[in-house]
Structure 1
Amino acid sequence: MKRNKTYGRHFAVVIALAALLVLAACGRNSAGTIVEDKVNVVTTFYPIYEFSSAIGGEDANVINLLPTGVEPHDWTPRGQDIVNTSKAQLFFYNGAGLEGWVPDFLKGLNADSKVKAVEVSKGVDLIMTTEDDGHNHGAVSEEQDHEHEGEEHSDESVDAKHTDPHTWVSPKSALIMAKNIRDSLIEADPDHKAGYEERYQVLADKLVQLDAEFTEKLSPLPNKEIVVSHQAFGYLTRDYGLQQHSIMGLSPDAEPRAQDMLNLAKLVKEEGIRYIFFEELVSDRLAKTLADEAGVDTLVLNPVEGLTEQQVKDGEDYFSLMRNNLQNLLLALQ
């Protein structure tokens, strides 16, 4: 018991430091202006921006709200973001509970705005979880809850009111999101339908190829369990036969208990897990703490929520980061 208390105190200090590092990273350096002779699209964060830019091509002006190097879960927009979105034709957001600020943001748009808001994750088979990260991420909306009024619920179903919002991390779900983006662009700008369809097909072919690579390379591996810092890989693990155990919840700044860390360390040792995965846009301190406790190493598993400044300079994109993920999964699960 003494060891547990000491570990708990150490763990609390680690959490505080990690939170400060996350806040320090949240600079505001996003940019983008409305272009009068194109369909203007505002996106909430990187994967939607990349897919929209790929499909929109020269026919669309795509503005991303989230600055480079910032983790999207607790980001909130600025006044200029409201101005740009009010003048745009399309506003693409992930939905599934990721951007909790969207309803109030849309209410704050100019009264004469004709922008159409599109939840690009619509149609994805969403993962429900009993995970409650304390930030209301992924919470079922009041409207959705009313749809089930009068139904009997077990205690488990009442608890399971959180949606895993990390849809884009699986190429299978990303393909559905790309289709929604294509359809919305065509509806807003039918004169350029042929271009949108052609560029969508190029993107779709790349996503199908990526899906095939994950399926072919992960399916024969003997080990299937991974330990991650942030519960962001539910769609990836579901679609490719893996199982994730997370230090934190759906939000990367959720606070795990010291006992949870001890239990994870025990699991790592019992299952022979060799790596703890961390991500680049948040502090790796907790992952390293767990790795030290369990006597294993760390590796990057990127939820592709955004790019670092260095990744931008290196020309990285969704596909290169996902293939890096695949290589690290292969290393960890051999």
Structure 2
Amino acid sequence: MNPKNSNQQKESCGSVKRIMNFISQKTKVLVALFLILGIQGCNQEANPTRDSVEEDKDRKALIMTVSEPIRFMAERITDDSWATIKFPADASVVDPVYWNPSPDTMRRYQNADLILLNGGGYAKWIKSASLKLSRLHDTSAAFKDRFILAKDAVLHQHGPDGEHSHEGYANTTWLDFELAGMHADAILEVLIKQWPDHEETMKKNHSILRNEFNKLHQEMLDIAKQIGNTPLLASHPVYQYPTKAYGLKIHSLHWEPDTTPDETDWRDLAF
């Protein structure tokens, strides 16, 4: 073999080895780099997930209602350390039964974790609202068979709220304190189902509230016995439930808080 060719072959082989070593080193560096980036990528993905879980735990539950009595009951049963209970109708709303939420308020309902309904036709806007059915809970579902049909509906107006009549089902169910207790039972049931971590405290709070309703119910029965058949006047036809529950004799008028009774209104007193 030509010595010159032999030297060239050795140099060529040496170059190839150096190139292979270089590639091997670079490959190791790249693999290490990919591993580091991969680990960092996993960490970047995991941290926000942990943070979001912690934030979700720290965030208070938003529970919206469609009436003030249901808000009161839910607030009594829950604890403001973990739950926010809202009925957002402001003081200018004369009759919440016929109130319609503004777009901003509607968004609050849409973002709520739970919406507690009164039932019996209360809050008619619910039927046309874009709300998740899974977040709606009718607190009167257990006593629908005790709904009272409103009779002799009269068209009238509450301030600037527009004309309406009290037709359909009577919806002031909580004025029968036995039914108020059943509302509270339904509220407790759905709250425990959705937030079981607070079951013990909610049961204690509910027990206190339930006892108060039971006491009020008995007191009303005692008062009704004392009243007997004495006629009672009501400014509005919204007392159907206490009339039936306690055997009261109530004559309902249609007097508005911002209107002075006229001659016809005074004649209505002669019943």
Distance 1:97 1:170 in 2: 17
Deviations along 1:40-78, one digit per CA (max 9) or x if unpaired, are 100112111111111112332111121135221321001
Q: Does 1:55 align with 2:68?
A: no
- Residues 194 and 239 (structure 1 numbering): CA distance in 2 closer, same or farther, change over 3 Å? same
Change (3 A) 1:79 1:211: same
1:159-215 alpha-carbon deviations (Å, 9 max, x no partner): xxx211110112111111111111111111111111111111111111111111111
The aligned runs of 1:90-105 (5 Å cut-off) are: 90-105=114-129
In the superposition, relative to structure 1, how do residues 164 and 114 fare at CA in structure 2: closer, same or farther (>3 Å)?
Answer: closer
Asked whether 1:245 is paired with 2:251, we answer yes
1:212-231 equivalence runs, <5 A: 212-231=218-237
Q: Distance in 1 between matches of 2:109 and 2:170?
A: 26
The aligned residue for residue 68 of structure 1 is 91
The CA RMSD over aligned residues, in Å, is 2.8
Mapped partners of 2:195, 2:263: distance in 1:
49
- SS of the equivalent of 1:164 reads coil
Alignment correspondent of 1:179: 185
Per the TM alignment, residue 122 of structure 1 is displaced from its structure 2 partner at its CA by 2.0
> Which residue of 126, 136, 141 corresponds with 2:147?
126
Q: Partner amino acid for 2:119?
A: G
- Higher RCO, 1 vs 2 (CA within 8 Å, ≥6 residues apart): 1
Match of 2:60 among 23, 26, 38: 38
Q: Is the 8 A contact 2:232 2:251 kept in 1?
A: yes
Shift, 1:86, TM fit: 1.8
How far is 1:121 from its partner?
2.0
The amino acid that maps onto 2:212 is K
Q: 1:75 to 1:165 in 2, by over 3 A?
A: same
Question: What SS is found at the alignment partner of 2:226?
Answer: coil
> TM-score, with normalisation over the residues of structure 2?
0.66
Counterpart residue identity of residue 72, structure 2: E
Counterparts of residues 73-112 of structure 1 (less than 5 Å): 73-105=97-129, 107=130, 109=131
- Runs of 4 or more off by more than 3 Å in structure 1? 129-138, 286-295
1:290 paired to 2:261: no
State the Cα distance separating 1:294 from its structure 2 match: 4.9
Query: CA distance change for structure 1 residues 294 and 118 in 2, over 3 Å: closer, same or farther?
Result: closer
SS in 1 for 2:213: helix
Structure 1: unaligned runs, 5 residues or longer: 1-34, 139-161, 249-277, 296-334
Q: What is the aligned-residue identity percentage?
A: 23
Bigger helix share: 2
For 1:91, what is the secondary structure of its paired residue?
strand
Larger-gyration structure (1/2): 2
Q: Indicate how the Cα distance of structure 1 residues 247 and 221 shifts in structure 2: closer, same or farther if over 3 A, else same.
A: closer
Instruction: Deviation per CA, 1:218-269: give whole Å up to 9, x if none.
Output: 2132434322221110101111111222223xxxxxxxxxxxxxxxxxxxxx
For each residue in 1:73-131, what CA deviation from the matched residue of structure 2 results, as whole angstroms up to 9, or x when unmatched? 321001122221222111012121121111112x2x4xxx6861112222231112343
Residues matched between the structures, number: 203
1:169 to 161, 165, 175: 175
